[in-house]
Amino acid sequence: MYDRLKGFRDFYPGEMSARREVVDTVETAAARYGFREIGTPHLERTQMYVDKSGEEIVEELYAFEDKGGREVALTPELTPTVARMVVAKQQALSKPIKWVSTRPFWRYEQVQQGRFREFYQTNADIFGSSEPEADAEILAFCADALTDLGLTGDDFEFRVSHRDILGGLLRSFDADVDVADAVRAVDKSEKVEREEYLGLLSDAGLSYDQAGEFADLIERGDLDEIAEFGGDDVAAAVENLRNVLAAADDFGAGEFCEVSLTTARGLDYYTGVVFECFDSTGDVSRATFGGGRYDDLIESFGGQPTPAVGVGIGNATLQLLCQRAGVWPEEELATDYYLLTVGDTRGVASDIARDLRAAGNVVEVDVSDRSFGAQMSYADSVNADTVVIVGERDLENGEVTVKDMASGDQTTVPVDDFPGDRDAPTYEDYE
C-alpha cells in the first residue's frame, strides 16, 4: 500500500460531482461577463518566480532541474503565467483582454484548514483597462458566482481596500518607511496581537507612536479624514476607491462590499484596489478568496505598460464557505437510467440506451454479467432514478418493464414506445 502525499487530496466520484457543479457554476458566471477560457502549462521556469518574488520563493516551490538541465517549477500561481502570455502576443490581442481558467497549483507550505500543497483555483483577469469599471466587474462576477451557488449577503462580504491609500499614508509620515514591509504588516494585522502588529510596523520604519497613529487611522477607515491626512496622492486613491465602489453598486455588487483598509493583500505586485471575500459569520477564519489590481506586472515582464486586475477563487476555501452556509452540492452519484438485462437481450438494451443517451441522459448498462439482484443493487448504489428491465420473457410480448426506484412502482411498456418520442420518459408517463 502507498500512502497519499501530505497536502495532496483524492477526490472520489461523489466528491467530484459536487466539485464539478461548483466549478461549472463559477465558470458559467464568468462566461456571462465575456471572460474567455485559456489553458496554461503546469511547469514554468523557476527564474520567472525568482524575478518576481526573490530567491526565497524557491523554498515554497516544487522546483527541480529537468532532463534538459533547465531549472523549472510546478506553477504556484497563475498571474506570472498570464502576464507572460499577454507579453508574448500583446499587439495581436484585442483589449480589454478577459481571461478565465480553472486548474491546479502547487506550493510547498504548511498544510492547514483550506490550504493544501496542491490546490485548485478559478482565476479571472482583465488586462488593458485602468477604469474603475474593470475592478467593479471583477467584484460583480464574484458576487454573481457566489449567489448563483445559493449564497446570500448574509453569508459573505467583500472587504475592499486600496494599496495606494496605504502606501501614500505610510509615505506621509516623517520616517524612512519600507512600504512593502509595512503593507505586509497590515496584511497580518488581524492574525496577530496589536502589540506585535505595531512592532512589525516599527520594524518597517515607523516610530512606535507613528505606528499607532497609522493603525488607528486605517482601522477607523474614514475616507475623508484619510484623504486630508495623506495629501494629494492619497486623495486621488480615495477617489479611485470611491469610483470603484460606485461602479460596483451599479453592477449589483455594492451590497456585498465594505471598505476595510486593514485588508492589504501581501503580494508586492498589487498597485490599486484590492479585496478579499470573507465568511460573514466568521466561522471560516480564512479569506475565501481575494484579488486586486496589478498595473505594473506586464511591464515588468517586458511588455508594454498594461493595467490589469484579477481574482483567484480557491476551491478549498470556497467549499468551506458553501458547506458552512449549507449550499455545497450533495456529494452523490446521479444516474438517470439503468438498463437491467435478463438473458440474451443486449441488442435491444443497447438500442434503448443509445436513444436515451442521445437525448442527454446518463445511462448505465450491465457490463459484468451479473444476476438480477446484483444489477438491482448496483442501480440503487448509483442512485438510478429509473430502472428499465429488458428481459427475454417481456420481449417475447414486445414489452420492457419500467421501474421507478424512489417509489418502487413499476409497469410494462411496449418496447417500441420506450423511449419513443420522449427525451426522458419515466414511470409516470406510462402508468
- Residues 107-118 have pLDDT tens digits of 999 998 888 999
Which one has a higher pLDDT value, 191 or 360?
Answer: 360
pLDDT at 397 over 80: yes
Does the predicted model carry a pTM greater than 0.85? yes
- Quick one: pLDDT at residue 18? 97
User: If you count DSSP H runs as helices and E runs as strands, how many of each does the chain have, helices first?
Assistant: 15, 16
pLDDT at 52 over 90: no
Q: Which helix (H) or strand (E) holds 125?
A: strand 118-127
Given the C-alpha cell 481558467, which residue does it identify? 101
pLDDT at 414 over 80: yes
For the 13-40+75-325 domain, the top CATH level (class) is alpha beta
pLDDT at 266 over 80: no
- Residues 85-114 have pLDDT tens digits of 999 999 999 999 999 999 999 999 999 888
Count CB-CB contacts under 10 A for residue 301.
20
Backbone angles phi, psi at 311, to 5 degrees: -145, 145
Beta bridge partners of 257: 158
- Quick one: pLDDT at residue 262? 92
- What is the arithmetic mean of pLDDT over 36-44? 97
- Quick one: pLDDT at residue 51? 87
Q: Domain spans of the chain?
A: 13-40+75-325, 335-429
- Quick one: pLDDT at residue 223? 95
Three-state SS sequence of 244-300: HHHHHHHCCCHHHEEECCCCCCCCCCCCCEEEEEEECCCCCCCCCEEEEECCCHHHH
- Quick one: pLDDT at residue 431? 79
Segments in 251-396 forming alpha helices (H): 297-300, 315-325, 346-358, 372-381, 392-396
- Quick one: pLDDT at residue 133? 98
pLDDT at 267 over 80: no
- What is the arithmetic mean of pLDDT over 338-352? 96
What distance in Å separates the CA atoms of residue 180 and residue 281, rounded to the nearest whole number?
Answer: 31
If pLDDT is split at 50, 70 and 90, which confidence band does 373 have?
very high
- Tell me the pLDDT of the chain averaged across its residues: 95
Tell me which residue of 218, 196, 207, 333 sits closest to 264, measured CA to CA.
Answer: 218
Q: Are 297 and 83 contacting, i.e. CB atoms less than 8 angstroms apart?
A: yes
- Residues 149-166 have pLDDT tens digits of 999 999 999 999 999 999
If pLDDT is split at 50, 70 and 90, which confidence band does 140 have?
very high
Tell me the binding residues for L-histidine: 77-79, 107, 121, 125, 265, 269-270
If pLDDT is split at 50, 70 and 90, which confidence band does 190 have?
confident
The architecture in CATH of the region 335-429 reads 3-Layer(aba) Sandwich (3.40)
- Residues 307-327 have pLDDT tens digits of 999 999 999 999 999 999 999
Q: Which helix (H) or strand (E) holds 180?
A: helix 179-187
- What is the arithmetic mean of pLDDT over 273-278? 96
- Quick one: pLDDT at residue 268? 78
Tell me the binding residues: 77-79, 107, 121, 125, 265, 269-270
pLDDT at 8 over 80: yes
Q: Are strands 118-127 and 97-106 parallel, antiparallel or unpaired?
A: antiparallel
Q: Are 260 and 221 contacting, i.e. CB atoms less than 8 angstroms apart?
A: yes
**Rounded (5°) CA angle 243-28-127:** 45
Q: Are 251 and 233 contacting, i.e. CB atoms less than 8 angstroms apart?
A: no
